[in-house]
Amino acid sequence: MQGLNISGVSMVYELPNGVKVEALSDVNFSLEPGAVLSVLGPSGCGKTTLLNILAGFLAPTQGEVILNGHPIEGPDAERGMVFQQGALFEWLTVSENVGFGPAMKGMSKKEVKEKVESWLVTVGLQDFGDKAVYELSGGMQQRVALARCLANDPDLILMDEPLGALDALTREKMQSLILKLWKETGKTIIVITHSVEEALFLGQKLFVMAPRPGRIEKRYNLPFAERGLVEDPRSIKTEPEFIEVREEVLSMIWGMEEQIMGQL
């Protein structure tokens, strides 16, 4: 079966003093190929744990994670990651970063070059291939990170706060770029973000997670990602339907944060 299927996934960490932390409890969901899901929730609700399990960096203490019919048992090029920042190879040029995966797979120099050029055009960096990573702005570095991930042709793309370090204007532009890449590649994408607005804008599905134990508290199906491909992002984000869901989600998360503060 194609797509992602997660059933009964729990993750319990055991601290050196024997205390157990239930980072995820009985998480269940399916994603069809080409879907985009965003995940929101207060700090400590298990978002990064979930992503690390999907990446194959961590094995869950219970449950099953199946991608395209086979279990996820470790890291693999079928799953690509995009982190907040700092995950590029600083000692390589932009082109060498994007071409790293294809070159490792044994593609010819010519094929790698063609692939790199085409991805740099797609992310709007066609004139920057020879630059060093440190010469680029934060937004441009994240464009490189997206291109590098896509050049590996993964089935599933996992993003942990990919735009979290960017200024507001760059962030908006990058949200539109993520939607464009989603549309053009048909990849399945999971984005973790702290921004409610971003989560609503990027996710066809949105999960709001809650802590202690980490779990999916509420699920939404949203129309904004599809519309963001063709309509002006600002007008979508300022319309009543968007604002209504935004406020509902915000107050849910604030409620959880107050509860967490009360327990400290």
Residues that bind ligand ADP (CB under 6 A): 13, 15, 21, 23, 41, 43-49, 214
Selection from Mg ion, ligand ADP, none that 261 binds (CB < 5 to 8 A by kind) is: none
Strands 62-67, 156-160: pairing is unpaired
Output 105 or 219, the one with its CB closest to ligand ADP. 219
Measured from the CB of residue 41, what is the shortest distance to ligand ADP in angstroms? 6
When the beta carbons of 5 and 48 are compared against Mg ion, the nearer one is 48
Q: What is the 3-class SS of 18-55, one letter each residue?
A: CCEEEEEEEEEEEECCCCEEEEECCCCCCHHHHHHHHH
Return the structure tokens found at 52: 């690390």
Should residue 48 be labelled a site residue for Mg ion when binding is judged by CB under 5 A?
yes
Closest residue (Cβ) to Mg ion?
48
Strand-strand pairing, 36-40 and 188-192: parallel
Instruction: Print the SS3 string covering 173-208.
Output: HHHHHHHHHHHHHCCEEEEECCCHHHHHHHCCEEEE
Which of 118, 189, 174 shows the shortest CA–CA distance to 142?
174
Neighbouring CB atoms inside 10 A of 209's CB total 23
CB 150, min distance to ligand ADP, A: 24
CB under 5 A: which stretch of 39-47, 91-99, 111-119, 136-144 binds Mg ion? 39-47
Residues, the chain: 264
The nearer residue to ligand ADP, 40 or 133, going by C-beta atoms, is 40
* 62: contact with Mg ion by CB under 5 A: no
Residue 233 binding partner per list Mg ion, ligand ADP, none, with a CB distance cut-off of 5 to 8 Å that depends on partner kind: none
Contact positions vs Mg ion (CB under 5 A): 47-48
